[in-house]
Structure 1
Amino acid sequence: MTQSVTLDDLDRRLVHALQVDGRAPFSRIAAVLGVPERTLARRYHRLRSALAVRVAGLVDSARIGMADWFVTLDCAPDATETLTSLLAQRDDTSWIAPLAGGGRLVCMVRTPAPGRPAGGPDGGRSFFEQLARTPGVRDVQAGCVLRAVAGVGGWSGRTSALDAAEQERLRTAAEPARSAVGGDGGAGSPSTGDADGAASSPGPGPDPGPTAWTEADARLAGELARDGRADIRHLAEVTGWSASTTRRRISRLRSTGVLHFEVDVDPAHFGAPLEALLWLDVAPGTLPTVTEALAGHAPVAFAAATTGRAAVFAMLQCRDAGALYEYLSRDLGALPGIRGAETALVQRRTKRAGTLLLPERHSSPPKRAS
């Protein structure tokens, strides 16, 4: 992310609006925010070009037979950078973060769900076996995500710029547009603000079933991971469907919970530059109480119940070290059933949600870990 970019109040309102609906046309957002459509389009494309803000399309792993894992790697200090770069280039990784102090990094990995075929040399158990054999890796600890318990729908720290009425107007306005075109209403482009091409002719096209996950869906998801607001015509070319079929498919995947959109933006732009990871050992009987409380804690950007030695894994965003101490000692310390906690500070984020994007001046590291 680019640290030289500063977000003003309108930028933050735009970010919040995109978290409500990542593919909302700029015309709809402009009507709610009370600013010209072209102003919003220019704002977004300027921020996205600077890698400061973007919308990423994300798939619910469990709904397509996959599983997410939070993986902690203990590695030789001189191997950390190479391993980080190698993992960042994989399509099945996200949220990659070397930890402060050196020698450790954490990432999220997607594999076929336990009990399903690996589906290739990089899938399932073979991925972890391959990772353990990678030069410089000393230890691998993996926890499978059982359920996301906090931060679903976006971190509250960046979703406070719009009031409840404005958010409801964004959601309500989306329904007629979706009904009229059979799709999601469109993602804005600089010129028209309607990348889904509502004026395009319907045209016939194959329409996959509501739950089947096809190769075309995977191509669609890959493009949306790179750019959640990609033009509908481009997405149609990638999938081989007509524009109207592509629009309907996006709408169906969203309505069934398979696909959602997340605004990828550095929390430092919202006054929370310090990121920490938290592993909690929680008594099983108090797990519902603890996770429900975490969902209401402002510093918790994301949390999930997982397998492994820690029952809960969480990502925290704080103003500084003092604020982190206050949260751990006061809010977290007041929860019942927490038998132990481990924290680690994030040195930096190499990859967040969606596909890795690099400024043009950066060279691309190798594609795969070996």
Structure 2
Amino acid sequence: MDSDRLDEVDQRLLQLLQLDGRAPFSRLARDLDVSERTVARRYRRLRAMGLRIVGQPVPDRLGLVRWLLRLRCTPDAAGAIADALARRPDTSWVTLASGGTELYCALNTRTADERNALLLQKLPRTPHVLTVSAHCMMRIFVGATSTWHATRFDAPAPTGSSPSVEPLPLDPTDRVLFAVLARDGRATLAELGTETGRSPSSVQRHLDRLRDEGALGFSVDFDPELLGYRMTTQLWLNVVPAHLRTVGEALATHPEIAFAAAVTGTSNLVASGVFRTPADLYDYLDRRIGPLPGIQNIETAPTLREVKRLVHVLP
């Protein structure tokens, strides 16, 4: 489907939903200067094209540790291994890259036992897995609960990971809300009340608490290819420690970047970028990455297939 089928109203609607995924149609209509009926019709059309609004937990606010796994596999098995990882409930996204022999997988863990079961037992014993490296995400500069789309240019500046505080305790109602909002972030209060057995006013109080405490975020998931962006690329950077924060915060302001985090390992900063063409990727590396201080080297790995993305993970 050609990107020109999305007009200015469609793209502005995507932008407003990115700012608040649960914004009511009445407010969206006022901001767009169109009727509420027009907003509802445009929203339904975008949904039919694959738009999802997803409620997601903020990992560090809930006492979860986020990991990025980098696996190299034999070419004949990478796809099957990626699909198997995607079926696991503890993985949040899985992508296949680098000629079909390398894949990336993000997961959240609460305990060392959860981490070790996968990293020390399951994966090393998987046939056709050649190497496994695990990178702990120390600080997420952008992308903790968001995804990229081409109308992100006017979004507020990201603030990075939450400061170190005690994990927010969750009750059974909170956990049901996370599960339902992972399927539909715009589920109505009545629908959420039916699922939780709570009144709409009680559900609203729970939602307000989770959002005010920084534990729940809403993401807009829309295929970048429908907006003409056909080259998603993983960037692995080795940055001098003194400049790690500076570079990470700079990447978080770039509209091309969907995700950026400081991680453990030889490459201490990883990012996901979305571009229209290889030439745009080159220009980005030349004009935006090149002038940043302290970058010693950079590795790029174009994504071949997104196997799993924007999935609720709450152990």
Question: Where in structure 2 are the equivalents of 1:176-255 lying within 5 Å?
Answer: 211-255=168-212
Q: Residue deviations 1:128-155, cap 9 Å, x none?
A: 2312222332221111111111356654
- Whose strand fraction is larger, Structure 1's or Structure 2's? 2
Unaligned runs of 5+ in 2: 157-166
Q: 1:83 aligns with which of 74, 81, 84?
A: 81
Q: Which residue does 2:159 correspond to in 1?
A: none
Deviations 1:37-73 (A, max 9, x none): 122122222322332x111111111111111111111
**Mean Cα displacement is larger for which, 71-80 or 250-259?**
71-80
Report the structure number with the largest CA radius of gyration.
1
Count of paired positions: 300
State TM-score, norm by structure 1.
0.75
Deviation of 1:80 after TM superposition, in Å, equals: 1.8
Tell me the alpha carbon deviations over residues 94-136 of structure 1, each in whole angstroms, 9 at most, x when there is no partner.
2321114111111211111xxx464xxxx22212231222233
**Superposition pairs of residues 119-198 of structure 1, within 5 angstroms:** 123-128=114-119, 129-151=121-143, 155=148, 157-160=150-153
Cα offset, 1:328, TM superposition: 1.5
Post-superposition offset of 1:15: 0.7
Q: Whole-Å Cα distance in 2 between the matches of residues 59 and 263 of structure 1?
A: 14
Change (3 A) 1:134 1:4: farther
Distance 2:89 2:25 in 1: 29
Q: Is the 8 A contact 1:12 1:161 kept in 2?
A: no
Q: Secondary structure at the match of 1:348?
A: strand
The residue number in structure 1 matching 2:22 is 23
The amino acid that maps onto 2:59 is S
Amino acid paired to 1:343: T
User: Alignment partner of 2:305: what SS?
Assistant: coil
- Counterpart CA distance in 1 for 2:89 and 2:187 is 18
- Listed one character per residue, the Cα deviations across residues 8-34 of structure 1 (whole Å, up to 9, x for unaligned) are 221111111111111111111112212
Structure 2 CA distance for aligned equivalents of residues 63 and 212 of structure 1? 10
Provide the C-alpha distance between the structure 1 equivalents of 2:306 and 2:174, rounded to a whole number of angstroms.
Answer: 28
Q: Greater CA deviation, 61-70 or 123-132? A: 123-132
Equivalent-residue separation in structure 2 for 1:275 and 1:302 (angstroms): 11
RMSD: 2.3
Secondary structure in structure 2 of the residue aligned to 1:309:
coil
**Secondary structure, in 3 states, of the residue corresponding to 1:212?**
coil
Q: Secondary structure at the match of 1:77?
A: coil
**Corresponding position: 1:12 with 2:11:** yes
TM superposition score normalised by structure 2: 0.87
1:221 shift after superposition:
0.8
Partner of 1:326: 283
Question: Helix, strand or coil for the counterpart of 1:84?
Answer: helix
Q: How does 1:343-358 map to 2 (within 5 A)?
A: 343-354=300-311
> 2:268: which partner in 1?
311
Question: What SS is found at the alignment partner of 1:31?
Answer: helix
The answer (yes or no) to whether the contact 2:141–2:248 under 8 Å persists in 1 is yes
Call closer, same or farther: CA 1:241–1:130 in 2, change over 3 Å: farther
Contact kept in structure 2, 1:97 and 1:347, CA below 8 Å: yes
Which blocks of at least 5 consecutive residues in structure 1 are unaligned?
165-209, 357-370
**Counterpart in the other structure of 2:244:** 287
CA distance in 1, matches of 2:126, 2:198: 40
Does structure 2 conserve the Cα–Cα contact (< 8 Å) formed by 1:274 and 1:319?
yes
Query: Contact conserved, 1:26 with 1:41, CA < 8 A, in 2?
Result: yes
Task: Go from structure 1 to structure 2 and tell me whether the alpha carbon gap of 1:90 and 1:237 turns closer, same or farther (over 3 Å shift).
Answer: farther
- Which amino acid in 2 is paired with 1:299? E
Structure 1 residue 239, shift from structure 2 partner: 2.5
Check the 8 A contact 2:73/2:129 in 1, yes or no.
yes
Deviation per residue, 1:241-266 (Å, 9 max, x gap): 32221111111101111001110012
Deviates more, 1:300-309 or 1:250-259: 300-309
Distance in 2, Cα, partners of 1:125 & 1:28: 47
SS at match of 2:100: coil
- 1:342 Cα offset (Å): 1.1
Q: State the SS of the aligned residue for 1:70.
A: strand
Structure 1 residue 348: Cα displacement: 2.1
Contact 1:57 1:354 in 2 (8 A): no
* Deviation (angstroms), 1:160: 3.9
CA contact (8 A) 1:13 1:161 kept: no
CA distance in 2, matches of 1:46, 1:124: 41
* Partner in structure 2 of residue 96 of structure 1: 94
Cα offsets for 1:275-301 (capped at 9, x unmatched): 110111111111122122222333222
The answer (yes or no) to whether the contact 1:158–1:267 under 8 Å persists in 2 is no
